[in-house]
Amino acid sequence: MSAGAGAGPAVGEVVDVGEWAKPLPGLDAVNGPYWKAAREGRLLIQECPTCGHRQWYPRALCTACGADPVWLETTGRGVVHTFTVIRQQGMPAFKAELPYVVAMVELAEGPLVFGSMPGVDPDLVAIGTPVEVWFGVADDDTGVPFWRPVP
């Protein structure tokens, strides 16, 4: 992989982002597989085996029909559906990254997912920008999906 200017993590790459000083999601029976998969470099959504509905974030039931959803591994690619630029944030771990983009990404597989784009120049982000996921290590069981423009 090139280490030149602008080079970032590859799609699905799990990156040691240093000491994690941001909130942790709190793993439970419903969301645990999602965060653990992210720690391994895989972005999961849920798909309903009964009606085919796909959803994010993780929930115990299909929001369309109430059946038990199953996990579906995504390509980790999508386009920016909409976004905002965060310019003020009081928590030190976030303040150090200002300004940063928080985007709603429309996955290639359909569902919309939220995520931030740390280190990405907000001027490089627009509605429709193709993006790809990478993962920051939060702890031994938890990875956090982040997004960046496709190079």
Q: Give the residues lining the site for Zn ion (CB under 5 A).
A: 48, 50-51, 53, 62, 64-65, 67
In the bound state with Zn ion, the residue whose beta carbon lies nearer, of 48 and 105, is: 48
Contact 147, 117 (CB under 8 A): yes
Question: What pairs with residue 143 in β-bridges?
Answer: 137
The minimum distance between CB 110 and Zn ion, in angstroms, equals: 14
The minimum distance between CB 62 and Zn ion, in angstroms, equals: 3
Beta strand extents in 25-140 (DSSP E only)? 44-47, 54-55, 70-73, 77-86, 100-107, 112-117, 130-139
In the bound state with Zn ion, the residue whose beta carbon lies nearer, of 46 and 142, is: 46
The minimum distance between CB 111 and Zn ion, in angstroms, equals: 13
In the bound state with Zn ion, the residue whose beta carbon lies nearer, of 47 and 106, is: 47
